[in-house]
Amino acid sequence: MTETFKSGFVAIVGRPNVGKSTLLNQILGRKIAITSNKPQTTRNRILGIHNFTGGQAMFVDTPGIHKPKGKLNRYMVDQAIRACNDVDLVLFLVEANDKPGGGDEFILKLLEKAGTPVCLVINKIDMVDPPSLLQLIDAYAKRFQFKEVVPICAENGDGVPQLLQAIEPYLPQGPQYYPDDVLTDQPERFIVAEMIREKVMRRTNEEIPYGVAVQVESFEEKPEKNLVVIQATIHVERDSHKKIIVGKGGQMIRTLGQDARREIERFLGTRVFLELFVRVDKDWSQSERMLRELGYE
């Protein structure tokens, strides 16, 4: 390691559903953060580690910043706000096809208060023409003094190498916090639980995805069989939600299990036997005890 080794923490913040988790996965070249077309998919801060020649950048994927309405939502927003104060650089992610609104103004005021250097990252540039993109850049430049402005498409990776180059000058000299082969600080059980929750979010509608949490009850490795045996519980808030997730004749829970098992096998690189259970915990998202038990502390 040279004396000029650089290492720092970079938070990815923005409104719900602007592509923060997709960007993190693209940077890492591997999926560790779940995604869906529903807002507030990300609930916890997730750290992804990117190594480059002479340095290491720790990217913090945060929940979308929104007006919280309950205990779980307040937890999510607090996670994102704290991240802005605990990093060396903030990437403020917005969509190219969406004009600045009240939610963006709220986030910019938080960023002004934090005082951390901010880069404006404009996602989904494939959906607009160059004149529209320039107008959007101008609109944001009038509202905040950004250190850099980088247009990207997180889905296909366009502009991401340029974004990584733009970040490097803002990282301080520091130690290598993680070994080269470590991708995230999250345990495998956490990522497995999130992958199961992602399948629920993608397969269900209305309020059900927001009342679902997943807890891995057991995670048993059997290397002699090239197998991992996982048991997980899907927590819901209503009996009616349980019926939908189980499905007629158990069809929905089987489909969810098959979808999740394939994703987990790709992540773990081994065969997986996955057993899912559904449990009703009435209004768990408003219970401080249940939030702590499910890892939302």
Burial class from Cβ neighbours inside 10 Å (0-12, 13-18, 19+) for residue 93 reads buried
pLDDT in tens, 97-115: 988 888 899 889 889 988 8
Tokens of residue 202, six digits = 């993608």
Q: What is the 3-state secondary structure (H, E, C) of 24-82?
A: HHHHHCCCCCCCCCCCCCCCCCEEEEEEECCEEEEEEECCCCCCCCCHHHHHHHHHHHH
Spell out the residues 6+ positions from residue 61 whose beta carbon is closer than 8 angstroms to its own: 12, 20, 21, 24, 33, 42, 45, 46, 47, 48
Q: Which 3 state secondary structure label does DSSP give 188?
A: helix
Identify the CATH number of the domain defined by range 6-170: 3.40.50.300
Q: Which CATH class is domain 188-293?
A: alpha beta
pTM for this structure? 0.86
Domain residue extents for the chain: 6-170, 188-293
pLDDT in tens, 44-70: 778 999 999 999 999 988 877 766 667
